[in-house]
């Protein structure tokens, strides 16, 4: 690996340079050939996912009841089996017992594990936030001692950051670390709460303040003196995972187990959470895919009024919408994975930190938050509609939807609440602009100039969505133009909001969240369109993809307009508000598509082929 600065002057043949800058999607138009899609997965990567699928089908899902009851020894046994298959050390380099594969190879495995939410949490917390702090910030000696045990599943990892009083304000922690008189150990005192894997983990990454001031990370073994654990929390869902308190009472941690340097804990914590948010979002899609499969099957089998449920319009609306949202989320996840992998493969390190860490770990923090928020909410909605399609049966524990609904709810709280992540997205854009890392100010100025021309040439910004009028390619082109206008709208709003509130920008949480929701929709809509355009460019028949992408954009257009109206009403009034609304009308000119017809086509095809993957399979 080599050190580089943040100017990012290198050129990459695999992905265009502009796509390798976090948040830049909002400022530039992306080439569809520059993104990674599910259709780009290699045969080797599919084999890994198939291995995970067989493991889940044969070993895990038949043991749901035992796992949910946390029967003695069941989870550790299955966890170790996953390790023996190489499914827990995919991030870890071969020299430390892992597979050393890229981020795109992880997706299929993550999606399989989350078919059972609690087991997905166990494996995801281990291979993500439980292992990655050591992998990216550990010394060679620390890696030699622990990493192969984690990669093989011999040991389980855990991440201990949250405390009872700190909640979302992680840096308000009270756990303290004091150097012993002989200088050989740190004595840790405090209590960590909501710690996944506590019942079985052997190694904890624990965050504490050295001398009550410097946030620092430590590698704490389960059997270190002074470490104890609370009872199992009685949770709403993810019951097959373990969640307990970790209590530290003069816990003796050798000085060589300090991770990354004194005072580097916040940097470690927040950058590891980027990876955790991404993995959570990717995993949520696996559970959503499983729910759609079950809902479609039930809708075909269940007869009402002499015909299958799948023949009724409102059921078709639900099935179609579930697939539409999953397609958009999936497209964004794979796009982000490709960008992360491309940066990791450069070997670039951020030279502003000591020790330096991989740029790929923090470059796409904004996109990781988008993935976390959008995919957790997609799963919640899919799980809820799957239960509704099952009717009364869905409300019983005899059918999967009840468990999936319970399991899905935690994802909006895990890894930073969705509210915190919504505030983070515009805030990060602003901070990066202030540091010269993102040309946000220049982009806002450019948009302001363009908007002055709109009043004179409004037809240049008019985009109609009459499906089929000009062919799939024409419709997609119009949709992409609408997305570009949505970017202009967000940048225009961003400038107005910051001008009005200045340094108090972050305190106007409701308005910041509006910006965030618009940005999230832009990223998902653009990802869906780019994926479809890439498939069409390769000569594939992508009619279903086009339906899925266009349906999402069609609804996003209404959301963008509604959110912008709400924001303009907050920051302006009178003639100024009227002027802003006129700008909005010019930017968001879009003739609505027949969403009912599109979703019926999607639902009928889904029921015909039986699963979401088969629905989007290209020919």
Residues 110, 377, 415, 561: which is the catalytic one?
415
For residue 5, what are the CA distances in angstroms to 348, 359, 362, 437? 9, 10, 14, 11
As given in the structure block, the two tokens for residue 10 are 């290198």
Positive/negative CA dihedral, 291, 292, 298, 304: positive
Number of residues that make up the chain: 619
DSSP state at residue 256? G
Phi/psi zone of residue 260: left (φ > 0), alpha (ψ -120 to 50 degrees), beta? left
How far apart CA 109 and CA 45 sit, in angstroms, is 9
Query: Is 415 one of the catalytic residues?
Result: yes
The dihedral of CA 520, 410, 62, 300: what is its sign?
Answer: negative
Contact 207, 216 (CB under 8 A): yes
Cβ atoms of 266 and 259 closer than 8 Å:
no
Of 331, 304, 165, the C-alpha closest to 245 is 165
**Joined tokens for residue 498:** 């910051």
Residue 355, preceding peptide bond in cis (omega within 30° of 0):
yes
Cα–Cα distance between 369 and 366 in angstroms, integer? 5
H helices of 56-97, where? 64-68, 74-84
Do 51 and 87 form a contact (C-beta atoms < 8 A)? Answer: yes
Where b means 16+ CB within 10 Å and e means fewer, 451-490 reads beebeeeeeebbbebebeeeebeebbebbbbbbbbbbbbb
Q: Which of 598, 559, 604 is nearest to 475 (CA)?
A: 598
- Fill in the DSSP letter of residue 312: S
**Residue 559: helix, strand or coil by DSSP?**
helix
CB 176 within 8 A of CB 189: yes
* Contact partners, residue 389, CB within 8 Å, separation at least 6: 295, 298, 299, 309, 315, 318, 319
For residue 422, give Cα distances in angstroms to 170, 192, 412, 428, 572: 17, 25, 11, 10, 23
Strand ranges in 287-414 using DSSP code E only, listed in sequence order: 303-304, 307-308, 348-350, 357-358
Query: What are the structure tokens assigned to 397, written together?
Result: 């524990």
Cite the active site residues: 415
């Amino acid at each position: 690996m080599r050190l580089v600065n943040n100017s990012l002057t290198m050129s990459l043949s695999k992905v265009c340079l502009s796509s390798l800058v976090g948040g830049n999607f909002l400022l530039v138009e992306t080439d569809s050939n520059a993104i990674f899609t599910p259709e780009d997965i290699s045969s080797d990567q599919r084999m890994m996912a198939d291995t995970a699928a067989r493991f889940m089908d044969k070993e895990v899902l038949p043991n749901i009841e035992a796992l949910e009851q946390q029967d003695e020894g069941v989870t550790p046994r299955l966890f170790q089996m996953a390790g023996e298959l190489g499914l827990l050390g995919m991030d870890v380099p071969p020299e430390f017992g892992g597979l050393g594969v890229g981020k795109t190879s992880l997706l299929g495995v993550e999606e399989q594990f989350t078919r059972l939410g609690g087991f997905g949490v166990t494996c995801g917390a281990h291979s993500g936030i439980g292992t990655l702090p050591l992998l990216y910030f550990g010394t060679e000696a620390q890696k030699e001692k622990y990493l192969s045990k984690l990669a093989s599943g011999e040991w389980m990892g855990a991440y201990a950051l949250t405390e009872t009083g700190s909640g979302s304000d992680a840096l308000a922690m009270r756990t303290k670390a004091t150097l012993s008189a002989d200088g050989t150990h740190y004595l840790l005192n405090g209590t960590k709460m909501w710690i996944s894997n506590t019942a079985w983990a052997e190694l904890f990454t624990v965050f504490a303040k050295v001398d009550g001031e410097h946030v620092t990370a430590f590698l704490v073994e389960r059997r270190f003196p002074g470490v104890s654990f609370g009872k199992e929390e009685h949770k709403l869902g993810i019951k097959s995972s373990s969640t307990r308190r970790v209590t530290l009472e003069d816990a003796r941690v050798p000085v060589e187990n300090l991770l990354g340097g004194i005072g580097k804990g916040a940097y470690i914590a927040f950058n590891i959470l980027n990876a955790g948010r991404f993995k959570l979002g990717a995993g949520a899609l696996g559970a959503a895919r499983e729910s759609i499969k079950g809902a479609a099957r039930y809708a075909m089998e269940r007869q009402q009024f002499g015909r299958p449920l799948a023949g009724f319009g409102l059921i078709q609306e639900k099935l179609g919408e579930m697939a539409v949202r999953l397609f958009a989320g999936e497209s964004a996840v794979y796009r982000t994975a490709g960008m992360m992998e491309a940066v990791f493969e450069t070997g670039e390190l951020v030279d502003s930190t000591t020790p330096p860490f991989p740029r790929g770990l923090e470059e796409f923090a904004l996109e990781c938050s988008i993935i976390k928020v959008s995919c957790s909410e997609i799963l919640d909605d899919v799980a809820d509609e799957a239960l509704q399609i099952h009717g009364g049966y869905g409300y019983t524990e005899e059918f999967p939807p009840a468990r999936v609904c319970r399991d899905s709810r935690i994802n909006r709280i895990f890894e930073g609440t969705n509210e915190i992540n919504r505030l983070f997205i515009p805030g990060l854009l602003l901070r990066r602009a202030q540091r010269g890392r993102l040309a946000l100010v220049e982009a806002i100025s450019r948009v302001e100039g363009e908007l002055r021309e709109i009043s004179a040439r409004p037809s240049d910004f008019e985009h109609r969505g009459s499906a089929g009028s000009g062919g799939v390619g024409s419709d997609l082109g119009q949709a992409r133009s609408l997305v570009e206008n949505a970017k202009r709208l967000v940048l225009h709003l961003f400038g107005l909001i910051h001008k009005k509130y200045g340094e108090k920008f972050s305190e106007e949480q409701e308005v910041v969240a509006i910006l965030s929701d618009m940005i999230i929709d832009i990223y998902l809509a653009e990802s869906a369109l780019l994926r479809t355009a890439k498939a069409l460019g390769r000569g594939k028949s992508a009619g279903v993809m086009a339906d899925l992408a266009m349906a999402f954009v069609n609804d996003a257009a209404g959301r963008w307009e509604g959110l912008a109206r709400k924001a303009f009403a907050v920051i302006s009034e009178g003639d100024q508000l009227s002027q802003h609304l006129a700008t909005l009308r010019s930017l968001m000119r879009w003739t609505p598509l027949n969403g009912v017809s599109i979703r019926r086509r999607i639902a009928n095809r889904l029921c015909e082929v039986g699963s979401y993957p088969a629905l989007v399979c290209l020919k």
